[in-house]
């Protein structure tokens, strides 16, 4: 029996195919969808506005992601400094 996917899953897969930078074979493998199925969805929805639909929390999500990026950058800087410090200690 063929596996059924929700419309939301299909839209997300098409959006990811268009914007993720992954190749379609990689994406289809990651999503557990056949490559021909993913290609068919992309072809069917290539003219759709991928950002249409319910996106009322986009601004809230963007704010959260900006905070997370800032935190990760700070952590990266701390780790860089720690690596330099410990590299100097081993000599």
Sorted by where each begins, the domain ranges of the chain are 1-50, 57-91
Give DSSP secondary structure letters for 1-42. Answer: -PPP--HHHHHHHHHHHHHS---HHHHHHHHT--HHHHHHHH
Residue 13's closest CA among 2, 24, 3? 24
pLDDT digits (tens, 9 = 90+) for 1-40: 567 888 888 888 888 888 888 899 999 999 999 999 999 9
52, two tokens: 């249409």
Whether the model pTM is above 0.85? no
pLDDT digits (tens, 9 = 90+) for 38-82: 999 999 887 766 556 666 677 888 888 999 999 999 999 999 999
**What architecture (CATH level 2) is domain 1-50?**
Orthogonal Bundle (1.10)
């Amino acid at each position: 029996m063929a596996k059924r996917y929700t419309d939301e899953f299909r839209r997300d897969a098409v959006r990811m195919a268009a914007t993720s930078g992954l190749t379609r074979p990689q994406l289809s493998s990651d999503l557990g969808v056949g490559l021909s199925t993913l290609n068919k969805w992309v072809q069917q929805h290539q003219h759709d506005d991928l950002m249409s639909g319910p996106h009322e929390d986009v601004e809230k999500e963007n704010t959260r992601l900006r905070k997370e990026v800032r935190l990760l950058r700070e952590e990266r800087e701390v780790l860089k400094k720690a690596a330099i410090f410990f590299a100097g200690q081993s000599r």
